[in-house]
Copies of this chain bind each other. A is one copy, B any other.
Amino acid sequence: MNWEQIEEKLDQLLSQGRHGQLRGALMMLNPVDIAGYMKKLDRERLLLLFRILPKDVSADVFSYMDTDQRQMLVESIADAEISALIDEMFVDDAVDFLEELPANAVKRVLQNTEPKTRAIINQFLKYPENSAGSLMTIEYCEVNQDMNVRDALLSIKQTGVDKETVYTLYMLDSQRHLIGSIPLHKMLVVPEETPLVKLMDPGIISVSTVDDQEVVADTVRKYHLLSIPVVDGEGRMVGIITSDDIMDVIEEENTEDFEKMSGLAPAEEPYFKSRLFTLAGNRLPWLMILMLTSIISGAIISRFEDVLAVNILLSASIPMLMDTGGNCGQQASTLMIRGIALGEVRFTDIFRVLWTEFRVGLMIGVVLSAVTFARLLLLNQASLIMAGVISFSLFATVVIAKSIGCVLPLLAQRIKLDPALAAAPLITTLVDATSLFVFFTIASRFILNA
């Protein structure tokens, strides 16, 4: 059965009111897909379907639902029902959900949850957004130095920790400081009497509750971890972050870089969920800044009015110079921004990078200006001087653009700005002004005096 057939079948069962069969059918599906199916349901059917699900599944499905859908559901069910849902959810998912609710609703809902859950969630709500603390979950297995494999397996069985959070056990001392970690698979291939310390990996890789999610993602990716422990200011273990959540963080951080590189304020919501004013508001600030800075390029053109009047070929070359300069700069800056994000390039590499880009610029400049020189002579019947001035300006533009393009992101990072912010739009404007200035200076020197 493909997905459309599955949806059709579910539609049928739902409209026929066969709730038992519907429940059975839903149990065959992944919670992600159930949440996907619910997207197209109206309020009444959504509520019906949701109540048909077994409680543990419904909490899972709820974590995967859209903000809109959750909102709709929350408005339709009693506070007590929401509280029961929160008791079933993983702490990190519950916190994510509560952060969406208006403050008074949070209070009301939390009143009905179990006191323990409430205390934990209140603690979590204090961590800064996008910090390790706000991402972590407290569902993990801790063991101590005196335990052996049998004790550990028993403890898993008793606490009944669910989900993949159980696949790394963390050994803590009496002050709850992290001593080491034990991958569960190592425990399964040794006799049950084996002391855990023998299996322990003492190399501790952890993050702090206040670390940014980007740091967490970089660390997990670097060490190929399934989960990473989170410690508080005093080095005591307080939670873990699992790799499935990290994947979402990686995509989020990449989206943010894409947006910044295109002069967009990072969006909070997916495209179709954003209001028109938000969409326009996210774009306007940079457009305004860049539009105003491009007046500089205009001023340069005005200043050299007499040069422009000599031959229309000079005006006609402006788009080529500006576009090629912008593109060259953008190529260099993109390579730097990615290099910085992936940890391949650092500020201390600045001279090495500059030297590399300078030589790459020379090579590219020679090729592009040779083609342009030939084009101007053969197709546009330009004079030698005219062709020479334009193609040399192009050459200089390429070299300058490559140099500006690679230096700016590194400088931005040095002064703790986001390298992606120094990217394409700003570089284009800078390169435009510089290349036009070089162009007209050369042109006025050689053409007006010729």
Contact = CB atoms under 8 A, between A and B. Distances in A.
A327 B287 contact: yes
A122 interface: no
A322 to B, nearest CB: 6
A432 interface: yes
A178 interface: no
Query: For A28, A29, A280, which residue has the most chain B Cβ atoms within 10 angstroms?
Result: A280
A83 interface: no
Contacts of A221: 247-248, 251
A240 to B, nearest CB: 14
Interface in A145-200: 153, 156-157, 160-164, 166-167, 183-185, 188-189
B372 A291 contact: yes
A289 to B, nearest CB: 10
Interface stretch (A12-20, A102-110, A363-371): A363-371
A323 B301 contact: no
A202 interface: yes
A328 B368 contact: no
Contacts of A244: 224-226, 243
A197 B167 CA distance: 22
Contact of A183 (B164, B301, B322): B164
Given A167-B184, A271-B345, A301-B312, A32 B223 contact: yes
A121 interface: no
B262 A203 contact: no
A312 B320 contact: no
Contacts of A251: 221, 250, 342
Interface string A422-436: 001100110010001
B243 A344 contact: no
Interface stretch (A42-50, A74-82, A208-216, A253-261): A253-261
Nearest to A168: B164
Query: For A202, A263, A334, which residue has the most chain B Cβ atoms within 10 angstroms?
Result: A334
Interface in A94-134: none
A41 to B, nearest CB: 19
Interface stretch (A231-239, A352-360, A441-449): A352-360
Contact of A323 (B220, B294, B315): B294
B301 A363 contact: no
Query: For A258, A284, A286, A436, which residue has the most chain B Cβ atoms within 10 angstroms?
Result: A258
Interface string A329-347: 0110111011100101100
A69 B430 CA distance: 40
Given A327-B286, A327-B290, A360-B279, A271 B368 contact: no
Contacts of A183: 164
Query: For A295, A324, A359, which residue has the most chain B Cβ atoms within 10 angstroms?
Result: A295
B262 A339 contact: no
A326 interface: yes
Given A298-B316, A327-B263, A360-B280, A352 B272 contact: yes
Interface in A261-296: 261-264, 267, 270-272, 276-277, 279-280, 283-284, 286-288, 290-291, 294-295
Nearest to A278: B360
Given A327-B263, A363-B276, A291 B368 contact: yes
Given A225-B244, A319-B322, A287 B364 contact: yes
Contacts of A248: 221
15 contacts: A32-B224, A224-B245, A250-B250, A250-B251, A254-B254, A257-B258, A267-B335, A270-B339, A283-B364, A291-B368, A291-B372, A297-B320, A302-B312, A308-B315, A322-B322
Given A270-B339, A297-B320, A301-B318, 16 more contacts: A28-B202, A28-B203, A29-B203, A221-B248, A224-B247, A247-B247, A247-B250, A251-B342, A258-B261, A284-B364, A291-B320, A291-B368, A302-B316, A315-B315, A319-B432, A322-B322
Closest 5 CB pairs of A and B: A297-B319, A298-B316, A224-B244, A262-B334, A280-B363
